[in-house]
Amino acid sequence: MEPGNQTGISEFILLGLSEEVLLQPLLFWIFLFMYLVTFIGNLLIILAIITDSHLHTPMYFFLFNLSFSDMCFTSTTIPKMLWNIQTQSQVITYEGCIVQMYFFMLFGILDNILLTVMAYDRFAAICHPLQYMIIMNPKFCDLLLLTSWLVSVLDSLLHGLMILRLSFCTKLEIHHFFCELYEVVQLACSDTFLNDLMIYFASGVLVIVPLTGILFSYSKIVSSILKISSTRGKYKAFSTCVSHLSTVSLFYGASLGVYLSSASTQNSRATAVASVMYTVVTPMLNPFIYSLKNKDIKQALKTLFSRETFSV
């Protein structure tokens, strides 16, 4: 009898980061803390940008969307993980797994593309300061954002539809704390050649193209900064890129770390632990990076808190 995803296959088992019972309460409180910090931190960035008219510029328009994407990115995985720990259950339904995979990929890809768009924004601001507002006009910014969403939605949808064609047998244990695409594909009984091909092709395109764009933008930025005669001018120009450069380094550094750890070991649990860096830690640190290294954001947050205090 040919194995298939028939009515009997209704759920997967998420093995999580550890099967040690004594570690579960500690994991719950650690991840709850990180999730709240991520959600509140990014929400504050969003509110600061909305309420301060001085931040209604292309740079902060994309930061607004990055913060929103980070909030959604962590919300696709952590709440389910916390619920499973609290209820002492490792189950996720087949439909829930597909939905989680779709939104996880969507917001992960959106993060990646937005970082590239933000690099282009810094390139336009530093290399073409006089034409900056003409280049980064509202229509063009909306077009860049729309393109980012379209690419993210279509790629995630394609992967999701290709998962639906797979047949699954009896081994439905996922060695992860969420439904990670590659882990789910490995559980299939049917031929996964097209799925594997799509994963490698899409991953290559959606990493190489954005990363090339970022490196090109910063090569031009560095070249322009070096041409500035005064040290003060160089510092001022570079300071506008520090927050974005830190976020890019953290995002790609964490992603590369997970890739290298998965390539060097067959231990899926170790890969799951490493993936915490880009799924949780990076979105959590982004608000701190932008608030600590950006005077405009710091001032907007002070104004926001002073308004709240005054209203109370």
110 SS3 class: helix
Least confident of 6-15, 18-27, 51-60, 257-266: 257-266
Query: Cα–Cα distance between 197 and 282 in angstroms, integer?
Result: 28
**DSSP percent split of the chain into helix, strand, coil, nearest 5:** 80, 5, 20
Query: Residue 7 in contact with residue 167, Cβ under 8 Å?
Result: no
The b/e string for 125-151 (b: 16+ C-beta within 10 A; e otherwise) is bbbeeeebeebbeeeebeebbeebbeb
Average pLDDT, the chain: 89
Q: Please write the tens of the pLDDT for every residue from 71-83.
A: 999 999 999 999 9
The confidence score (pLDDT) of residue 93 equals 94
Across the strands, what pairs with 93? 11
State the pLDDT confidence band at 68, using cuts at 50, 70 and 90.
very high
Q: Which pLDDT does position 2 carry in this prediction?
A: 44
169 compared with 285, residue with greater pLDDT: 285
Residue 6's pLDDT band (cuts 50, 70, 90) = very low
Can you give the pLDDT at residue 4?
44
Q: What is the pLDDT of residues 89-124, one digit of tens each?
A: 999 999 999 999 999 999 999 999 999 999 999 999
Report the pLDDT value the prediction gives residue 264, as an integer from 0 to 100: 63
Give the pLDDT score at 266: 64
Look at 46-60, 92-106, 123-137, 231-245 and tell me which has the smallest mean pLDDT: 231-245
Residue 45 pLDDT more than 80? yes
d(CA 167, CA 189): 6
What is the average pLDDT across 202-216? Answer: 93
Note the pLDDT tens digit of each residue in 254-307: 887 777 666 666 667 777 888 888 899 999 999 999 887 788 898 888 888 887
Q: Is the pLDDT of residue 311 over 60?
A: no
What pLDDT score does 274 carry? 80
**CA–CA distance, 147 with 154 (Å, rounded to integer):** 11
Which of 7-11, 115-119, 226-230, 294-298 is predicted least confidently? 7-11
pLDDT value of position 278: 85
Q: With H, G, I as helix, E, B as strand and everything else as coil, classify residue 89.
A: coil
Does 8 score more than 50 pLDDT?
no
Based on its alpha-carbon atoms, the radius of gyration of the chain, rounded to whole angstroms, reads 21
The model's pTM is 0.92
